[in-house]
Each structure stands twice: as structure tokens, then as C-alpha cells.
């Protein structure tokens, strides 16, 4: 403000030019500091957002890991117990009737294996479906980004026009007209 007042009051062209140069340098420093502050604030906000997202992801992954451990332990226990039961059963299969039971047990085992295989395929298909949906949404994200950039470009153009008028007034010292 002091420089602007000094420029307005200065009648000597050389001194006025020197003061305007100082004002331009001060404005440049100020704008650089404001821009640096904005960049650092934006980076801080972005990192803060990703830290919060990361907490959610870590929590989810820990829950998934715990669930998987429970399932793995259950399957291990079931498998060990089945081995014991099947071992006892195989020792008692001696007659034709017992062999018929063995065939039925085998069929049940095959059906169980088929169900497990179908379940695994379903999990894989669901994963692929979600991945495809995520990738398809990329287009929407890109359209949004493009719209934001277009709006920004229009705002920059409006600013440039206004700034040009300000510079024109300044260069002509045509304040108040």
C-alpha cells in the first residue's frame, strides 16, 4: 500500500518506474508465497484424506485376515477330524453293504468337492466383475476431470480478461475513470 501511495504521488517518471518495479517484485513475492501456501495446504489435505482411507483399508484387511484365519483353522480341524473318522470308517468297511455305504460317502465327497469348486469359481467371477466395474467407472472419472479442467480454463480466461483491464488501467494510470 505504501508503494502504491508513493507511485500515485510520484511525479518524476524515473522514480515512479523504480517504485512500480519494486511493487511488481513485491507482488511477485507475495503471489509466490500464496501459491506455495495453497500447494502445501492442498497436499496436506490430500495426505490427510488418504491417511483416513488407509485406516479403513487396514481395518478391513485385518478383519479379512482374522476371518481367513478362523476359516483356515476350522478347515484344518474339520480335515483332521474327518481323517480320524474316515480312517475308522475304512477299517469297518468289510461287507458288500459297507462298500455300498463307501460309494455313497464317495459320492457325497465328490458333490462336496464340486460345491467347493463352484464356490471358488464364483468368488473368482465376482472378483472379476468388481474389477471390470471399477475399470468401467474410470471413464466417468475422466469425464469429470475433463469438465473440471474446462471450467477451470474458462475461469482462467475470465480472470485473464479482467487482469488485462486492470493492467491497462494501471499502465495508463487511469484510476477512477
16 within domain boundaries = yes
Question: Cell for 142?
Answer: 475422466
- Cα(24)–Cα(59) distance, integer angstroms: 52
- How many folded domains does the chain comprise? 1
103 within domain boundaries = no
169 within domain boundaries = no
CB atoms near residue 30 (< 10 Å): 10
Q: What is the pLDDT along the chain (177 residues), one digit of tens a residue?
A: 788 888 888 888 898 899 989 989 998 999 999 899 998 988 888 888 888 888 887 888 888 888 889 888 988 998 899 899 888 877 776 676 778 888 899 999 899 889 888 988 888 888 888 888 888 888 898 899 899 999 999 998 999 899 888 888 887 878 776
35 within domain boundaries = yes
Contact 23, 1 (CB under 8 A): no
- Cα(167)–Cα(141) distance, integer angstroms: 38
For residue 57, the enclosing domain spans: 1-92
Question: Cell for 88?
Answer: 475308522
- Cα(25)–Cα(155) distance, integer angstroms: 25
Give the pLDDT of residue 28. 94
Give the distance from CA 177 to its chain's centroid: 51
pTM for this model (two decimals): 0.37
79 within domain boundaries = yes
Give every CB contact of residue 20 below 8 A, 6+ residues apart in sequence: 7
Give the pLDDT of residue 171. 79
8 within domain boundaries = yes
177 within domain boundaries = no
Give the pLDDT of residue 81. 92
111 within domain boundaries = no
Amino acid at each position: 500500500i505504501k508503494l502504491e501511495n508513493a507511485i500515485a504521488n510520484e511525479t518524476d517518471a524515473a522514480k515512479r518506474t523504480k517504485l512500480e518495479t519494486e511493487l511488481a517484485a513485491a507482488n511477485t513475492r507475495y503471489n509466490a508465497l500464496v501459491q506455495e501456501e495453497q500447494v502445501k495446504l492442498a497436499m496436506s489435505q490430500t495426505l490427510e484424506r488418504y491417511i483416513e482411507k488407509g485406516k479403513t483399508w487396514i481395518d478391513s484387511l485385518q478383519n479379512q485376515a482374522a476371518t481367513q484365519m478362523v476359516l483356515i483353522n476350522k478347515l484344518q480341524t474339520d480335515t483332521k477330524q474327518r481323517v480320524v473318522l474316515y480312517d475308522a470308517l475304512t477299517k469297518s468297511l468289510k461287507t458288500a453293504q459297507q462298500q455300498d455305504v463307501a460309494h455313497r460317502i464317495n459320492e457325497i465327497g465328490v458333490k462336496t468337492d464340486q460345491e467347493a469348486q463352484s464356490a471358488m469359481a464364483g468368488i473368482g467371477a465376482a472378483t472379476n466383475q468388481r474389477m471390470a466395474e471399477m475399470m468401467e467407472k474410470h471413464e466417468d472419472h475422466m469425464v469429470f476431470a475433463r469438465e473440471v479442467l474446462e471450467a477451470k480454463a474458462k475461469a482462467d480466461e475470465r480472470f485473464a480478461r479482467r487482469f488485462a483491464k486492470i493492467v491497462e488501467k494501471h499502465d495508463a494510470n487511469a484510476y477512477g475513470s
